[in-house]
Amino acid sequence: MRSGLGRMSLAVALWALGTLPFLSRLFRGQSSRDLEHYVSSANALLDGQRMYVDVPFEYPPYALAWLAGPAMLAGDVAGFRLFFGLLILCLDAAIKAALLWSGFRDRHRPPDVLPFVMYTLATAAVGHFLLQRYDVIPAALSVAAVMALSAGRAGVAGLVAAVAMATKLYPAVFVPVLAVVAWRRSRSEGKRFAIGVVAGLLPLLALSWSMPWWRFATVHTRRGLEVESLWASVLWLAHFAGVPATWEVVIAWFEVTGPAAERIVTPARIVWAAATLGSVALATWAAWRHRLNSGEDAGTISLSVTATLALLPITAFVAFSLVLSPQFHLWLAPLAALALLARRRPDVGVDTGALWCIFFSTFLVPAFSPSPTFDTGLDLGRTLVMVFRNALLLYATWGLAHTAVGLASTRRT
């Protein structure tokens, strides 16, 4: 009894220590342009304006539902920042609670606090963006989908994954992985997962009659090399050696432009698409081939392996993308933390080196974003850090791909 109470007290203390300090960020710094865009878009929706027609909006329609609540409670940008920040803080706290629960649930082993600690440090590193972007929402939904599937609630997992996908598009890359994991567990689970996905996406069909929501993608098709992406960072580094390149504002973001950038854009899109689709195929194939063994820690291993396979296509999507904003690290950190649960079982074959690279790349973000020279172009030192960050994400993609191949060749019964 005392041991159980002690574990619970430790978990609550860690959760409070890792969560509550972020409350101070609700009142620090200026409101970002993204936050102002969120509140203006939500108010336009509440005023009855035609979204995606009269009011451009570059995100899927479920995002508007998350933004509308804080907008209704707020009278201005400052009020929206408070209520929206509280929403994000609650979801971030839920992720941290889930990580602690996953690390503490095996009473036969000492508590595993490292996944919680690493995720907390990662959110601290990008804390400037945490409460003023909505990326924690799809991240929390992604964690919920993976955990629900590992707990045998395939229908819930499918529904949550669909909502995540219609909130921000990137979760679409791991839905095939979860679908195969569900099917391999049993055909009934596979069917329930599919029903959940369909149920979660049905509102999109209804919205199609009055809201051309698919137009959100047109904004992104016109984007060039965003300055923090792999492609732009290498080009900007080359500009110190004399390659012509310009750091400039394009619409509401910064891009590296010039003759070399124009030549790179199309090949970069092809490589990005190929890497993303290839990683989806590899992770899905590994999920189909791999079958976990039974045992007292089978639940934890199933959770970490599923998180690892889901993480692969997201990491490839981020690492090779033409757009790589700091908040994208919030997509990676929660699943990487869940994947860390497998490190106590080396025989499972999860490459923890790739996971460390994901966390270390996140810790490097404050070195260049935000920075005093970001608006005019990073200096050489910060550029080198940014290129190294992107190299770490490339290595993480390779390590996760190698893990997927290993899992595919290890068929446990």
Residues 202-257: tens digit of each pLDDT: 999 888 888 898 888 887 777 889 999 999 999 999 999 999 999 998 877 899 99
CA distances from 79 to 43, 48, 385, 387 (A): 13, 21, 36, 37
Distance CA 6, CA 79 (A): 39
Phi and psi angles of residue 223, each rounded to the nearest 5 degrees, phi first:
-80, 145
Phi and psi angles of residue 274, each rounded to the nearest 5 degrees, phi first:
-65, -45
Are 26 and 81 spatial neighbours (Cβ–Cβ below 8 Å)?
A: yes
Other beta carbons within 10 Å of 224: 20
Q: Which residue has the tokens 């035609």?
A: 50
Helix (H) or strand (E) holding 249, with range, is: strand 246-250
CA angle 306, 386, 393 (to 5 degrees): 20
CA distances from 215 to 22, 208, 245 (A): 35, 11, 31
Percent over 90 (pLDDT), the chain: 66
**Each residue's pLDDT tens digit, 285-341:** 999 988 755 444 555 678 899 999 999 999 999 999 999 999 999 999 999 999 999
Distance CA 235, CA 22 (A): 35
pLDDT of residue 350: 81
Helices 175-185, 259-289: inter-axial angle, 10-degree rounding: 10
**Each residue's pLDDT tens digit, 38-89:** 999 999 999 989 899 888 898 999 999 999 999 999 878 889 999 999 999 9
Helix (H) or strand (E) holding 254, with range, is: strand 253-257
Q: Is 258 left (phi over 0), alpha (psi -120 to 50) or beta?
A: left
Identify the three-state secondary structure at position 256: strand
Q: Which amino acid is at 128?
A: H
Identify the three-state secondary structure at position 278: helix
| Region 132-136 average pLDDT | 93
pLDDT of residue 300: 63
CA distances from 37 to 33, 133, 170, 345 (A): 6, 10, 20, 45
Burial pattern 207-221, b for ≥16 Cβ within 10 A else e, equals beeebebeebeeeee
**Residue 282 clears pLDDT 90, i.e. is over it:** yes
Other beta carbons within 10 Å of 395: 17
Distance CA 261, CA 227 (A): 11
Distance linking the first and last C-alpha atoms of the chain: 36
Which of 22-36, 266-280, 288-302, 349-363 shows the lowest per-residue confidence on average (mean pLDDT)?
288-302
Q: Which residue has the tokens 């899927």?
A: 60
pLDDT of residue 366: 94
Structure tokens at 186: 């049993």
Distance CA 80, CA 39 (A): 7
Are 99 and 146 spatial neighbours (Cβ–Cβ below 8 Å)?
A: no
Percent over 70 (pLDDT), the chain: 95
**Considering the entire predicted model, what is its pTM?**
0.93
pLDDT of residue 296: 44
What length does the chain have?
A: 413
- List, as one string, the DSSP characters of 196-248: HHHHHHHHHHHHTTT--GGGHHHHHHT---BTTSHHHHHHHHHHTTT---EEE
Closest CA to 290 of 161, 143, 154, 407: 407
